[in-house]
Structure 1
Amino acid sequence: MGDPTRASIEDAPDAPGPEGLWEELVELLRRADLPVEDLEAAELGSFALARRDGRLVGSGALEVYGSAALVRSVAVEPAERGNGLGGRIVGHLEQRARSGGLSHLYLLTTTAERFFRRAGYMNLPRDEAPLAIRTSGQFSSLCPDSAAFMSKVLDPAALP
């Protein structure tokens, strides 16, 4: 049996989900100072959610663009940080991406560059972003130009 003190991670249900879930998620993201302006409740199914004792304590999502995806909205409640939960959320998203046949993941961050580097993401110049990623709200308007742009190759066969 799993560790009862460890938060569980699972894919969010498709919208609308249980009453109050969307609002709880948006509040978590706001507390983490992450953008929510471009999110809609219909996208709930793109999230992985971490819960402990019924409370939402972490999240992450994939925005899919062809064979690539943008990792976004990775947030962990402050009291839950430092125990590997963020890494488990990212690992869950990466496994979902692999299962979906995606070859590359991209992200933008202003605060978690070291965290993502430890997870195997590499810094890239913003002008190397694929066109589909560049047209995302995260890339084009929500994240500042100073945000680190990072990527991870999931399928080495997809490299040029």
Structure 2
Amino acid sequence: MRKTVGVLAAAMLGLVTSMTVAAPASAAPSLRVHSVQYHPNGVNDGSGTFANREWLQLVNRGKEAINLRGYTVHNKNGRTYRFGDVVIPGKGGRVWLRSGAGDDTARTVYWNTAGFVWDVEGDKAFLRNRKGHSVHTCSWSYVKGRDWVRCPVNP
């Protein structure tokens, strides 16, 4: 009887330990692509001003601020933006990456292109950390009349 109780106790301890150590595979990333305004309606005049209507928004749902230095965002064609010394606050902090040209601020950074980055026919935004590991992705397909997408938490 003692041996059976000991074996059961050891088995239960192992089960509880494995349940508390393992993180759920579907855990939402704290830093992610929240939404993308791609190819807004109108004609691009090539100045970059109109391209600023196109943006990608990052959100940090974690508790701590994250310095994005070395993080990258790129599209399905490999067009890449590398963040400088930009800090995104925790607890819902947001940063916008605008496609056009401008002076970076604490909340808005600029890709400094004269044209659009995101393909209206469908595209995919990849967010990678400074080591090149995927943090989050967001993809979309063409939908008539739509030029904005809110990204799923777990794509």
TM-score between both structures, scaled by the size of structure 2: 0.22
Higher strand share: 2
Higher helix share: 1
**More relative contact order, 1 or 2 (CA 8 Å, 6+ apart):** 2
